[in-house]
Amino acid sequence: MVPPLENVVLFAAAGLALLVVPGPAVLYIVARSLEAGRTAGLASTLGVALGSLVHVAAAALGISAVLAASATAFTAVKLVGAVYLTGMGIRRILRPEASVGASAGSRPGLRRVFAQGVVVNVLNPKTAVFFLTFLPQFVDPARGSAGLQMLLLGGLFVAMGVISDGAYALGAGSIGGWLARRPRLLTAQRYVTGGTLIGLGVAAAVTGSRRV
């Protein structure tokens, strides 16, 4: 039930090529890292990874196929995710105290940041369609259960994503710490992170209903 080694190597190479180019998840993680530091960025990374695993399981079980086939369901999930991201961005702009330079008690808790990462990724139907269309290309039906092979390949992709996204989180968190020592830049930081989240929400709302 394991894909052929050559398929795994090709999958890893293709996955690496995709991960090198920053996508919406990376932008979200960077925004959270700038806002609350490296630890929060890593928590967001793990949350996004768990959300990806949910999509991998859905693709392996055929649930994502239902979402991809229904324009109404796709649009509903997409709009809920867009509203969620936009709301986070607006709150970030309107709450200047929630910054890297604020006290630890006023920053978002790691559990909350982790949960938000999960929700943001789960509510992205484009991620579901991505795994639904990407994973089967490397599955060999002759090697056993296609669903199990998709789970294994999807797990590998998510693990690679954690490493890649974690690097972005650490880098952005370091920049956020540098900004925290320069109070005059904190306002700009607030608008950049909030604007990024709002931009992601708007982008999610206006993207096509079936394309990854």
pLDDT, tens digit, for every residue of 91-103? 878 876 544 444 4
160/40 Cα distance (integer angstroms): 19
Say whether pLDDT at 10 is over 60. Answer: yes
Helices 71-94, 110-122: axis angle to 10 degrees equals: 150
Place of tokens 């925004």: 31
- Interval 145-162 mean pLDDT: 92
Residue type, 197: L
The span from the first CA to the last CA of the chain, in angstroms, equals 28
Instruction: Say if CB 119 and CB 51 are below 8 A apart.
Output: yes
Q: Report which secondary-structure segment, H or E, holds 202.
A: helix 186-206
Whole-prediction pTM: 0.80
Say whether pLDDT at 105 is over 50. Answer: no
H-assigned helices in 62-145: 63-69, 71-94, 110-122, 125-134
pLDDT in tens, 64-83: 777 667 777 778 888 888 89
10/173 Cα distance (integer angstroms): 32
Mean pLDDT across the chain: 83
Residue type, 5: L
Domain residue extents for the chain: 5-16+24-205
210 band by pLDDT with thresholds 50, 70 and 90: very low
Of 85, 89, 109, 87, give the one whose Cα is nearest residue 37. Answer: 109
Say whether pLDDT at 13 is over 60. Answer: yes
Q: Which pLDDT value is given to residue 166?
A: 95
